[in-house]
Amino acid sequence: MLATIGLQHYLILSALIFSLGVLCMATKRNAIGILIGVELVLNSANINLVGFSKYQTGKGDGQIFAVFVILLAAAEAALAIAIFMNFYNNVRTIDVDRGDELRG
Amino acid sequence: MENLKTLAILIPILPLLGMLLVGAVGLRFLKDKSHWLVITGVGGSLVLACLILGDVVSRVSRDEAASHVANAESAVGSAALSKSIPIYDWFVVEADPAHGAMQSAGWLQMTFRVDQLTCVMLMTVLAVSFMVVLYSKGYMRDHHGHAERGYERFFAFLGLFVFSMCMLVLAGNFLVLYLGWELVGLSSYLLIGHYYQKPEAALAARKAFIVNRIGDFGFALGIWLIYLTFRTLDHQTVFDLVAGVFNYDAGHNHQAFESLVHTTLGAQASVMDFKVLVESRITWIALLLFCGAMGKSAQFPLHVWLPDAMEGPTPVSALIHAATMVTAGVYLVARCSVIFASSEIAMWFVAAIGAATAFFAATIAMTQFDMKRILAYSTLSQLGYMFMGLGVGAFDSSVFHLYTHAFFKACLFLGAGSVMHAMGGVIDIRRFSGLRKQMPVTHLTFLIASLALAGFPLLSAFWSKDEIIHAAFQSNVPMFGWIGLVTALLTAFYTFRMVAMAFWGPLRLPQGVEHAHEGGIWMNGPLVFLSIGAVLAGYVGVHFVSGGGFLGVFQPDGVFHEFLAPVIASAKGILAGHGAEHAGAAHAGGHGLMYASSGIAILGILSASYLYLKRPTIPWAIAAASGSLYRLVYNKYYVDEIYDAVFVQPLRRMGRLCFAIDRNFINAILYVLGNIPRAIGFGVRSGQQGAMQGYALGMVIGLVALIWIVLNGIG
Amino acid sequence: MPQSMLASMWMPSAEELSQLAPLFALVATIVALLLAAMFTNRNRNVAASIVTLGAIGTGLLAWKRLQSGAPSWAGFDPNGMGPMLISDTFSQFFIVLACVFMLVVTAMWWLGQKSDLPDSEVHRMDATEFFVLFVGSAFGMSLMVSTTNLLMIILAVEMASLPSYGITAFRKKNRVAAEASMKYVLFGAITSAIMIYGASLLYGYYQTLDLATIGMKIAADMQAGATTGTLFLSVAVFAFMVGIAFKVSAVPFHFWCPDVFQGASIEVTTWLSVASKAAGLGLMLRVLSVIICAPSAFPVEAFKYVSLAIAIMAALTCTVGNLAAYRQMNLKRLLAYSSIAHAGYMLMAVAILWSPTDAGIGAAHPAFSAIVSYIIVYLLMNAGAFFVVAMVYWSTGSESITAMNGLIRRSPMLAVCMAIILFSLVGMPPLGGFMAKFYLLMAVWKGGLYWLVVIAVLNTLISLYYYARIVRAMILTDDGLPEISAPMSGQLIVAMCTIGIILTGVLLGPMKEIANNNASNLYAVVKSDVAPRTASAAGPSAATPNTENADTAPTIP
């Protein structure tokens, strides 16, 4: 028998993606890589929101939330990449390891 | 009440404003006209002090019509005088049920108190301050009228001092008193060190500060003990409680006392326990408070800073180190007369320290040549008189002496400053003489003030000093009276030694000074005013009788004493309970003593004038003959040297040791501690990991730890 | 749903709109900036004037709202979902603070662009962009304190953060600034992602975006003895709080702070050090209050451990901040660590707010008012301190502590003010810092976290050392550096801050009374936010009862 897709499936998927995102953030040395990790986490949150919205509240506010999060992610990425480029202009790399002038 | 409150707030605020304005606009825009700000501030305060005096006097006289003044409790208008005026709560601490109700009412209140004693002090302080500020306008300039370096700073600090002194005098509880106490110490430090480029001045400032700290430490402990005992720092409450305890056995008004105990210490407090506690601690409290007074008023053995403090500008010496700040100790003891009167040991100690200082300082003064130092030792000696008076229970006489002393001593110092100004900074009386002709105003005023200091009959100090000596003779230890008389002789002698050497005889000027000249109206005006004060100020303390008094008309114990009587009434009551024979009522007698002390004063004056004018070789011969004794006195009994050997050097060695420990050991610990956060922050960043990952890892670990704490707790 | 209500949702009346006037004013300022740039050829003076006017206008509007008192809600959802935006004394109070601080920072920008340092070049060139981002972050911070809705909180935090990243990166040719902004944006992105994830979990668990409703449900669950899902719940709550902790730079979410403060230009550092933290704390107080105040009738035992966790975090925050500041040579970095330490002190009182014990509940109100007073004094101290550092920097081009050497001779006024400010930062009586710290620790003591007070006192001792180091450099070390040419207006601002600090200390009691009264208002307002919602959820006007979802036990994966 074919199992119906329920809330659990959404949540498990979301948790998986969240873990992947955190892993990505923690291991990547490239700034873009870290940013990708951030996007993964944001998307896992989106899956949560959509899933909860569909199965539990039924009001759609979660879906609206998800739309806002997508928008935020876009804005954040735009700004982050601009800043990475600025870093690249100064340091000729976007390896975050190289950003170690500020310490102590 | 409201009127008093407004005035009481404004009096310290005006000089403070003056000071702040000097700092804000004076330094930049007014420059050498900055004195106007401070003159206006202090002058304004003086006017307000007159108003406050008028207010208090009118209250007292209004009540006098109704009832006798000694019973101030029942009187309506003057009842306000024995209460603190709350300004605001400096500190609000929520009620602690374990303690009394007083705490919740804000035990750290800013309160002022305006009563007769405050009025006397305010008038004295502000009148002298005003004169000194005016004088400084002339003094702090060279002969061409150009302001000295640091002129604005000097006036700013004078303003600060007057503010602090007013705070001290107006204080309605021990906290504010302590605040003012420390503030005058600070401003004294700043002003002694005014010429901070001069190493002696910087050292003297430091010495004054450190010696005062020693006294203040005791003072702070005393205040702490008062709080521990009474659970309040309010003056009147503490005094009422003490008076209640020591009048308890006399047996009147138990109910009022008990209810006061309960409101202050909480309903569950036991009155008898409290009584025992107070009785066991009162001597300690009094002695610790007196410790502070000894530091501030430079009593032996904490007197060493005052002569050195003469390195400060002369107006400062006149104002702070003669007329006002150094009398703060006297004021403290007079204010806390109830506490001191309750402990016979403390009273004896105060009197003994006072008598010792009076005598020893006078002997030192006879051997010195620096005019300002002579006056400094004379100040010590006079302060000693005041403490002796306090110690034998003549609180009003001591305050009276404080008040008269302020005028003639400020006048003497300002006169010395005038001489110093004219002599191009030379103040050694061996290097000039005969200034009488060239500086007539200074000479005349200086002479009048000297006569007053010497106790010449009918001048101000004659009345006040005689009262103290009289009270000392009446006390348990008549020895103090004899010391007083001998010291009076020494006083007259060293004063006229100075006058004779500096002003009389042939004209002689130090090298480089062609002509001695007066300092101008700004300097002479205050001199004249203060010398008038030196003559007349004493007459508020006498009344005139037709026959029977001194010279047939004068009788000690005038309006001044009557005015102060309510403030010290309860202390007198306690003293009477001790069964000691004390002054007060006995002012009436002792005309014989007055004649005797007049004789002594005139004897001292004449002998000094004779020896130093007609036979100047004799003093030298005596000095040479007495050899080591003379050297002992000339070197101020080697007190400084003893301190250096006993305290300063060992402490310095200990300081070096501590520094070494700090350097090598504590610093190492701190260094390690200081590196822990780096280890947290960057320790994880080992190997290939970049800074970012270290940060991120820290965050994740932190987050997990927080969650773990909560989950672990919930279980 | 009645038509009128629906209509009012779509067509808010002028009166409703006027209640959000301060927020509109900030947006209008941004628009005006952009338009003015177009028409005045990016004139920097015009831009700065517009910001000044905008800040004053916003501040006045907020002040007016603050006086009128009555709270109001915008976007109120009649279905018990709570408001999207809140305009009450609490939010207006923070907006007024933000506006005052905007003026300070604008003044600093104005004076800074006149110096001939390389930074000022950038400031002169791109004034419009700088101010648009600056006002944008101010708008975000104002939003942060004006809402209890999860979505709006997320949007507000992002609105505050994104422009902050931008202005941090403003010194484009500067390698340090580039590094700082990269760290800032990455940390910001990571923490906000985690925060959003936490928000999504909270939303799913309680099926609402309204924090007050969530609070009530948490309390009800705990009361009913439900222990299932505590892991889920604590992950959700803490993940959500990460974003706020990042804003107030609580350890271990503080790593960005020193780097960014050192790398950013001094105007930005000043702005972030106070405004960002104040907004973060405002948000934290708001969130806590609506979560905690809702169930105040029945204290939740589990909160004890939350309180403990926050207390540990607070202790770590101030300890790490103070110890790390110990050997800093860069003044901005030193002040950054100092600001972390101060955030730690304030978090101590936050821990009390969570505490469900009797002592903790008794101390909640003092703790709340202590934090509010602390923020005000902290604003004065930091504005003054950074202004002095800025003026030294403009004059010497150095941010090192050695640039302060002999300041007492080079500019006596600045040195004296700075010394007072630093001693106030230590918490020395009778200065404002002492008053603030004293009342804060008093509240913590009353709340029963005695060990926390001990740690705070030890920390104060440590902090004395590094603040005194600056004083020592200013007064005792003199290596003959030339005099500082400090602009008068800058000196005036420093003097005003100093006077404010002294007054708050000397007039401690009266100030406390004012703070107490205002904080009581704020506290009452924040508490009362909850009441109308519960009323409207249960009341007859709520046409569609939306409670059935709450009854069904949430599924825990």
Contacts of C314 (CB under 8 A, 6+ apart): C250, C344, C345, C347, C348, C350, C351, C452
**DSSP conformational letter for B549:** E
Report angle CA B401, B405, B407 to the nearest 5 degrees: 135
Beta bridge partners of C85: C74
CA distances from C413 to B11, C404, C416, C485 (A): 27, 13, 5, 12
Omega before residue C163 within 30° of 0, cis: no
Regions of chain B short of the pLDDT cut 70: 1-2, 26-28, 64-80, 91-107, 143, 145, 250-253, 546-549, 551-553, 578-590, 662, 666, 670-671, 673-694, 713-715
Q: Which domains does chain A have, with CATH numbers?
A: 7-95 (1.10.287.3510)
Q: Is B645 exposed, middle or buried (0-12, 13-18, 19+ CB in 10 A)?
A: exposed
Beta bridge partners of B91: B108
C457-509, pLDDT tens digit by residue? 888 887 887 888 888 888 888 888 888 888 888 889 999 999 999 888 877 66
> How many other CB atoms are there within 10 angstroms of residue B614's CB atom?
10
Q: Which two tokens stand for residue C395?
A: 């004059």
Which 3-state string (H, E, C) describes B187-246? HHHHHHHHHCCCHHHHHHHHHHHHHHHHHHHHHHHHHHHHHHHHCCCEHHHHHHHHHHHH
Which pLDDT score is estimated for B49? 86
Encode burial over B360-395: b for 16+ CB neighbours within 10 A, e otherwise: bbbbbbbbbebbbbbbbbbbbbbbbbbbbbbbbbbb
CA atoms within 13 A on the CB side of B137: 20
Contacts of B16 (CB under 8 A, 6+ apart): B41, B159, B160, B163
Q: Which two tokens stand for residue C386?
A: 């950074």
Which pLDDT score is estimated for C229? 65
Backbone angles phi, psi at B150, to 5 degrees: 80, 15
**DSSP conformational letter for B700:** H
Place of tokens 């390690």: B672
Give contacts of C324 with chain A, Cβ < 8 Å. Answer: 104
CA distance B439 to B504: 11
Which pLDDT score is estimated for C542? 32
Q: Any chain A CB within 8 A of the CB of B703? A: no
The domain ranges of chain C are 303-506
Closest chain C residue to B27 measured between Cα atoms? C413
Closest to C217 in 3D by CA, of C534, C544, C535: C534
CB contact under 8 A, C200 and A46: yes
**How many cross-chain Cβ pairs, A to C, lie less than 8 Å apart?**
153
What would the DSSP string read from start to end of C499-534?
A: HHHHHHHHTHHHHHHHHHHHHHHHHHHHHHTHHHHH
**Interface probe with A: pick from C150, C157, C197, C327, most Cβ of A within 10 Å:** C197
Contacts of C108 (CB under 8 A, 6+ apart): C266, C267, C270, C386, C387, C390, C490
Which pLDDT score is estimated for C528? 55
**How many cross-chain Cβ pairs, A to B, lie less than 8 Å apart?**
30
Q: Is B552 helix (H, G, I), strand (E, B) or coil?
A: strand
Encode burial over C297-307: b for 16+ CB neighbours within 10 A, e otherwise: eebbebbbbbb
Q: Which two tokens stand for residue C490?
A: 């800058």
CA distance A48 to B49: 77
Backbone angles phi, psi at B699, to 5 degrees: -65, -45
Which pLDDT score is estimated for B101? 40
Regions of chain C short of the pLDDT cut 70: 1-13, 69-82, 222-223, 225-229, 292-302, 508-509, 511-557
CA B653 from centre of chain: 33
CA distance C148 to C294: 13
C475-485, pLDDT tens digit by residue? 888 888 888 88
CB contact under 8 A, B693 and A96: yes
Category of C201 on φ-ψ map: left (φ > 0), alpha (ψ -120 to 50) or beta: alpha
Q: Which two tokens stand for residue B27?
A: 């330094």
**Interface probe with B: pick from C230, C256, C301, C458, most Cβ of B within 10 Å:** C230
CA distance B51 to B4: 9
Q: Any chain C CB within 8 A of the CB of A67? A: no
- Write the residue in A8, A58, A83 that is nearest to C181 by C-beta: A83
Q: What is the pTM of this model?
A: 0.75
CB contact under 8 A, A68 and C151: yes
Q: Is B253 helix (H, G, I), strand (E, B) or coil?
A: coil
Closest chain A residue to B690 measured between Cα atoms? A97
Which pLDDT score is estimated for B575? 78
Give contacts of B97 with chain C, Cβ < 8 Å. Answer: none
**pLDDT score of A5 more than 60:** yes
Amino acid at B418: S
Which pLDDT score is estimated for B626? 74
Calculate how close chain B gets to C213, using CA atoms only, in Å.
22
